[in-house]
Amino acid sequence: MTTMPVEKKCKECHTVYPATLEFFTKDKKGLRARCKVCMHAAAKERTESGYVPPGRKDTLAKYSASKKGGAAQLKYRRTAKGKALSRRAKLKYYYGLTADEYNKMFLEQGGACKICKLHQSDLDRRLDIDHDHATGAVRGLLCMKCNTYLGRYEGGNVADLDWVKKFKKYLK
């Protein structure tokens, strides 16, 4: 009868740990030679260097394009977790904002449109993120109506003096 060693030395960092699953992962032969700390560090280094296992991108693309993969993605995106992940990704991609930065802007504005002061709870949808199309700089959160009219104003298509005054005040 063979007994498991009480201690095990990591082959990479040479640290001696108790020979348990808390410190080492298991494979077909028993506990691996590298500790979990070294394995996680190596995995993080591979990820940060941009390493993608051979064939991984092709496999993911084929799965996503398949009926089963598309259905799975759609099902996930409809969950609360999927919606939140998608929202965070869009905020970062289009506006360079994190969810915390958006929430901070929302609280600073009191949860209302920056121009007409209409509160989020009175609207059918979330406040839009207003940004300068020339520089990409985020200016504030607006209701859909103000955001649309502001776009028209910047394009020279608004003749209503009340709106023009509001927009000039907002853009200062």
pLDDT digits (tens, 9 = 90+) for 57-102: 888 888 889 999 989 989 998 999 999 999 999 999 999 999 999 9
Asked whether residue 165 is domain-assigned, the answer is: yes
* Strand stretches in 36-170, DSSP E: 128-131, 138-142
Q: Tell me, yes or no, whether 105 and 137 share the same domain.
A: yes
Asked whether residue 119 is domain-assigned, the answer is: yes
What pLDDT shows up at residue 152?
Answer: 84
Q: Tell me, yes or no, whether 76 and 139 share the same domain.
A: no
Asked whether residue 1 is domain-assigned, the answer is: no
- What's the whole-model pTM score? 0.58
Asked whether residue 171 is domain-assigned, the answer is: yes
What pLDDT shows up at residue 3?
Answer: 65
Q: How many domains does the chain divide into?
A: 3
What pLDDT shows up at residue 2?
Answer: 59
Q: Tell me, yes or no, whether 160 and 102 share the same domain.
A: yes
What pLDDT shows up at residue 14?
Answer: 95
What pLDDT shows up at residue 157?
Answer: 77
Q: Tell me, yes or no, whether 61 and 131 share the same domain.
A: no
Domain that holds residue 117: 97-172
The low-confidence residues of the chain, meaning pLDDT below 70, are 1-4, 158-159
Asked whether residue 3 is domain-assigned, the answer is: no
Q: Tell me, yes or no, whether 125 and 166 share the same domain.
A: yes
Helices (H), the chain: 36-48, 56-65, 67-77, 80-90, 99-108, 144-154, 161-171
What pLDDT shows up at residue 10?
Answer: 94
Beta bridge partners of 35: 24
Q: Tell me, yes or no, whether 88 and 123 share the same domain.
A: no
